[in-house]
Amino acid sequence: MSGKTPGGNFFEDFSLGRTLVHGTPRTVGEGEQSLYIALTGARHVLHSARPVAHALGYRDRPLDDLLVFHLAFGKTVPDISLNAVANLGYADARFLRPVHAGDTLSAESTVIGLKENSNRKSGIVWVRSTALNQNGEEVLGWIRWVMVHKRDPASPAPETVVPELPARVGPERLAAPPCLDARGFETAATGGPWLWDDYEPGEAIVHPGGMTLEEADHTLATRLYQNTAKVHFDALAMEATPFGRRLVYGGHVISVCRALSYDGLENVLAIAAINGGSHCHPTFAGDTLYARSEVLEKWALPGRRDLGALRLRLLGLKNRPAADVPSIPEENGQRRYPPEVVLDLDYTVLLPRRP
């Protein structure tokens, strides 16, 4: 067999401090934005309407923040998670600059933590990843951790290093786009009347819609992001796993749930940060997703009277309407998610303020 057949990295191939420069830079265009809307149902106005983007100070409508995240994430998969059991979570993701059609994205990652699992068949890898544009400017940075198969269960385990992760991205670290001027924002553009001033911590928003995931849609979405993880594509390989079938990419679950959250949060202009997140249970084609949001914190931004930030908790449920959220008990500081809960995402968004 030729030695030119790449197999991706297994757990024992990672070492603390190793930096991986990921291949295949991606020049993005209007087509990606339109296809993203078709696959997820996203309706956020800044990414939908060029005149609104111009009125808010942008040179053009920017790509949806989660589309940028997934495209950048996809760059990292061949090196980080091609041999993954599952992606486990995110932390400290900061959206730093808007991305427009014509920009080129590249990515690199550094290993910041390693821990072998007790079964010795797999381990958890933590990486800090960075996405850059064609000018070498950082547009996005994030931490994620992923469970990766070992090539050989008998291979020695690396020293365990579990990184300390920030609980949230504080308001002082949020990067509101300098071009964004929301002073003249008109709610007629979105159909929703509620601005930053109208939300309060502790408030729960039950989003009314649901979306059934189709096999073709989740597969096409994952291809759009050039995410090559076997668990999403290779049905034959997945037959031999406990799941017995392909998993829906967790990023697609995030995007669908956020699209469903539009109703009740219509005037969200941008995502500023992902503070943390867990894919609590697997999602499969045929599942129907629902979404519920909770306002965790509310921040005025330093030096900005036109914008405010909301820290939100987005719960994604499969095959159970959001009005019927099950209890999520804690045991030894860990949440025990019922099987209907597939996503628990802690993220921060920017909204216009009242004059």
**What are the backbone dihedrals phi and psi of residue 8, each rounded to the nearest 5 degrees, phi first?**
75, 170
Mean pLDDT (whole number) for 322-330: 87
What are the residues whose beta carbons fall under 8 Å from the beta carbon of 195, sequence distance 6 or more?
A: 185, 187, 267, 351, 352, 353, 354
Q: What pLDDT, in 10s, does the model give residues 89-104?
A: 889 999 999 999 999 9
Please determine, looking at this structure, whether the domain spanning 11-152+171-352 carries the CATH number 3.10.129.10.
yes
| Predicted confidence (pLDDT) per residue in 116-163, tens digit | 999 999 999 999 999 999 999 999 999 999 999 999 999 998 899 999
Rounded Cα distance between 101 and 133, Å, is 12
**Could you tell me if 17 and 110 are in contact, meaning their C-beta atoms sit under 8 angstroms apart?**
yes
**111 close to 14: Cβ distance less than 8 angstroms:** yes
Instruction: Please give the Cα distance from 307 to 262 (Å, whole number).
Output: 18
Q: Rounded to an integer, what distance in angstroms lies between the CA atom of residue 11 and that of residue 129? A: 17
pLDDT at 333: 78
Would you say residue 249 has pLDDT above 80? yes
The Cα 293–Cα 317 span in angstroms is 11
Distance CA 179, CA 61 (A): 12
State mean pLDDT over 22-26: 95
pLDDT at 2: 59
Residues 212/288, Cβ–Cβ less than 8 Å: yes
pLDDT at 1 over 60: no
What confidence tens digit (pLDDT) does each residue in 156-215 have? 988 999 999 999 999 999 999 989 999 989 999 999 999 999 999 999 999 999 999 999
For the stretch 61-84, pLDDT in tens is 999 999 999 999 999 999 998 888
CB 309 within 8 A of CB 348: yes
Local confidence band at 85 (pLDDT 50, 70, 90 cut-offs): confident
User: Which sequence spans correspond to the domains of the chain?
Assistant: 11-152+171-352
Between the alpha carbon of residue 301 and those of residues 71, 126, 198, 312, the distances in Å are 28, 30, 16, 16
Q: Is the pLDDT of residue 255 over 90?
A: yes
Instruction: Give the E-state strand segments of 177-243 in sequence order.
Output: 204-212
Distance CA 41, CA 132 (A): 27
| Whether 225 contacts 76, CB under 8 Å | no
DSSP, collapsed to helix, strand or coil, labels residue 10 as coil
Task: Provide the mean pLDDT of the chain.
Answer: 94
